[in-house]
Structure 1
Amino acid sequence: MNPFTMLGPETSTEELGEPHETPKVCESHEAALLSWPWLASLQYEGHHFCGGILIDEKWVLTAAHCNFSVQMDEVVLGKIHVLPNVKSNSPVLVKAVHTHHNFSGFPSINDLALLELQKPIKPGDSAAVACLAGSGEEASPDARCLTAGWGERGAGGEEEQGSRLQQVEVSLLSYEACVSYRGQNIEETNICARSAGAAFCMGDSGWPLICGTHGHYKLVGIASWASDNCNTESPTVYTKVSAYRDWIPSVTNQKI
């Protein structure tokens, strides 16, 4: 496991259905059981350290800087609590980790990795496959965007890591606006979003940014980094999934 300092309804295999309805205020709320069935918790000795997204029955997409270890770490799917040493869904074994060949450290560039599972996951009540944004696809201006995570719940790490999944509605920023906040660390392959009352913290890396209209959502980003003190005024930087639709099948050897 890597002690990183960066960030730190029904669904189907065709479209991301709308997660459990969230009150439309900019703060985090506990997510309903099974409302994010494509989320994965990456764990070391039963402790959550990063998130991931099930994008195929045998593949989980996450942030490269999470530094997942096949020998030491585990993947848990269909889980809403991440209390250590609490028996729940059995961990899923990982066969191999495929980190983007041009991944670099902070500021993270090409911050994506694919975890190849040893056995396929059968989609059902507790697990489902997410739908990815298409190549070059951008979220529409009227899209509703959401994210979720199990990271620290207090600014600056004042509170312990949240044991229950939290979800929050966020607003997208233009590339220019993101650069004005983050400077030259922003690439065209990044997308930024923020909420007025919630921030990503340690443990939230690898979590999804999903956007959609009329209840149909797609995965548009994977959480990469944010301010080191969980500042709610600063945007979270995501890796833009639509920029990597050629890389993903080059690794999986199949259309996703």
Structure 2
Amino acid sequence: MTTFAVLLVAIATAQVQQVASINQGNDSLVPEPYMVALFLHRNYTRESVHCSGTLISSNYVLTAARCFFDNDISTINMIFGASATDRWEEGHLTVTQNTSGLTLHPGFDPDSFADDVALIKLDDDIVFTNSIGSIELYGGNDTLDGQNSTILGFGLYDYQLKSASNPVLQLVECTNSDDFYTDLVTDNQICFDGSGFLSACEGDFGGPVVVDGVQAGIISFYHEDNCNTDQPTVATRISAYRDWIRDISGV
């Protein structure tokens, strides 16, 4: 087995075993209107995959392709307008539908996480409220290096929306931070600084990287060891896929 193949096996193993939420993140006591908790149910079993996503219009949710690839998903359960998924909250909305509205980017590579972006078309339009709304997508040419950013996700077992803030790293800083990132990170991705042991974790995949109130990234993967490190979180760069997102969703 090649060194690269061993590396990819390590990624898959480590990132399936993590059970926390955003490491060292802060609990969100009120909903972020654009955040969506995803519970993806496998065919013929009671097992589910937990991911996060964002509402980008009244009828489209943006998330990570890795959540669906080779997971034999039959049903998508989405919770809107919630700060936690283990209790009832006034104003939240639960939507359940099949995968007919799901579109994965055709270039998605489950080994390298390239083109890790997916869209879910909702069967029925969402009515925006004080608790539920959409987020704007970044479409500029600025790399956003050094700008303060926030990652958000619901995690796997915490059931709690959490967030953490740190600067966007230059790609060269990201790739040089550890050999793990060298063959994986490309210009189509954005890196969230892990200083202070701030990192996305299992269940946060598909959640946003937000800069100045605008979504700049989609959480894709973290370091191969685990999420309790000071290593970067890597996200799909929204601006690199702006045309594809627009072509599918009209947003």
Report whether the alignment pairs 1:211 with 2:215. Answer: no
Q: What's the CA shift for 1:237?
A: 0.5
Which secondary structure state, in structure 1, belongs to the residue aligned with residue 247 of structure 2?
Answer: helix
Q: What's the CA shift for 1:105?
A: 1.1
Distance in 1 between residues matched to 2:168 and 2:15, nearest whole Å = 18
* Distance change >3 Å, CA 227–CA 66, structure 1 → 2: same
Match of 2:132 in 1: 127
Match of 1:51 in 2: 52
2:27 to 8, 26, 30: 30
Query: Where do 1:38-77 residues align within 5 Å?
Result: 38-44=34-40, 49-67=50-68, 71-77=74-80
Match of 1:146 in 2: 150
Aligned residue type for 1:66: C
1:168 to 164, 170, 191: 164
Tell me, yes or no, if the aligned pair for 2:28 and 2:163 is still in contact at 8 Å. Answer: yes
2:102 to 85, 97, 100: 97
Calculate percent identity across the aligned residue pairs: 25
Tell me, yes or no, if the aligned pair for 2:76 and 2:96 is still in contact at 8 Å. Answer: no
Q: What's the CA shift for 1:72?
A: 2.1
Distance in 2 between residues matched to 1:137 and 1:58, nearest whole Å = 28
Distance in 2 between residues matched to 1:70 and 1:129, nearest whole Å = 25
**Please, which runs of 5 or more residues in structure 1 have no aligned partner?**
9-25, 153-160
Distance in 1 between residues matched to 2:153 and 2:54, nearest whole Å = 11
Distance in 1 between residues matched to 2:155 and 2:26, nearest whole Å = 13
Distance in 1 between residues matched to 2:131 and 2:190, nearest whole Å = 29
Aligned residue type for 2:210: I
Distance in 1 between residues matched to 2:145 and 2:223, nearest whole Å = 26
1:56-101 alpha-carbon deviations (Å, 9 max, x no partner): 1100000001007773221111111122xx5563224354101101
**Please, which runs of 5 or more residues in structure 2 have no aligned partner?**
1-11, 17-22
* Distance change >3 Å, CA 227–CA 139, structure 1 → 2: same
Q: What's the CA shift for 1:227?
A: 1.8
2:233 to 233, 236, 248: 236
Q: Which moved more, 1:229-238 or 1:61-70?
A: 61-70
Tell me, yes or no, if the aligned pair for 1:7 and 1:204 is still in contact at 8 Å. Answer: no
| Runs of 4+ residues deviating >6 angstroms | none
Q: What's the CA shift for 1:140?
A: 6.3
Aligned residue type for 2:209: L
Distance in 2 between residues matched to 1:203 and 1:194, nearest whole Å = 19
1:200-256 alpha-carbon deviations (Å, 9 max, x no partner): 2111100100011xxxx110000001124113211001000011111012112x2x2
Report whether the alignment pairs 1:200 with 2:200. Answer: yes
Aligned residue type for 1:100: H
Tell me, yes or no, if the aligned pair for 1:135 and 1:244 is still in contact at 8 Å. Answer: no
Q: TM-score, normalised by structure 1?
A: 0.77
Match of 1:12 in 2: none
Distance in 1 between residues matched to 2:222 and 2:85, nearest whole Å = 22
Which secondary structure state, in structure 2, belongs to the residue aligned with residue 129 of structure 1?
Answer: coil
Instruction: Flag the structure with higher helix content.
Output: 2
Which secondary structure state, in structure 1, belongs to the residue aligned with residue 53 of structure 2?
Answer: strand
Tell me, yes or no, if the aligned pair for 2:26 and 2:162 is still in contact at 8 Å. Answer: yes
Match of 1:21 in 2: none
* Distance change >3 Å, CA 133–CA 5, structure 1 → 2: farther
Aligned residue type for 1:55: I
Distance in 2 between residues matched to 1:112 and 1:199, nearest whole Å = 19
